[in-house]
């Protein structure tokens, strides 16, 4: 691992988590159309059409009210990856394809929730 992680490292870590969740059948993960990183913020974009779902149905079936709590998991824990990613990641934001916010959380809040 490079110290600190590059933008590409951060995008790859979050994208891998999304892929794992999608492969496990998590519908909201199947709807992720983009993962980006800039200025300390990971941004995950959701497009229900990618999952073959209607917007309302996807929102009704999500397990997390704040989707940033789900997609921020790679940043959350005190393992090697989480600690490494938090050297640069300050926030995780989730938006839909029209730019509407579906969740935001700081890396500190994610870590606090994960570490107890």
Whether the Cβ atoms of residue 74 and residue 81 lie closer than 8 Å to each other: yes
**Domain residue limits, the chain:** 7-115
End-to-end CA distance of the chain: 26
Instruction: List, for residues 22-56, the tens digit of each pLDDT value.
Output: 999 999 999 999 999 999 999 999 999 999 999 99
Task: Specify the pTM.
Answer: 0.94
Instruction: Please tell me the predicted confidence (pLDDT) of residue 116.
Output: 75
Q: Fill in the DSSP letter of residue 5.
A: P
Instruction: List, for residues 70-114, the tens digit of each pLDDT value.
Output: 999 999 999 999 999 999 999 999 999 999 999 999 999 999 998
> Can you read off the two tokens belonging to residue 26?
């998590």
What residue has token string 């938006």? Answer: 95
Instruction: Please tell me the predicted confidence (pLDDT) of residue 115.
Output: 83
> Can you read off the two tokens belonging to residue 19?
């892929």
What residue has token string 């509407």? Answer: 100
Based on its alpha-carbon atoms, the radius of gyration of the chain, rounded to whole angstroms, reads 13
């Amino acid at each position: 691992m490079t110290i600190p992680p590059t933008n590409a490292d951060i995008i790859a870590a979050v994208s891998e988590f999304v892929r794992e969740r999608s492969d496990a059948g998590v519908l909201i993960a199947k709807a992720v159309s983009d993962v980006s990183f800039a200025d300390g913020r990971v941004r995950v974009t959701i497009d229900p059409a990618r999952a073959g779902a209607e917007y309302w149905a996807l929102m009704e079936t999500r397990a997390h009210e704040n989707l940033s709590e789900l997609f921020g998991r790679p940043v959350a824990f005190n393992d090697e990856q989480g600690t490494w990613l938090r050297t640069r990641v300050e926030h995780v934001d989730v938006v839909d394809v029209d730019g509407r916010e579906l969740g935001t959380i700081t890396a500190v809040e994610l870590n606090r929730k994960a570490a107890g």
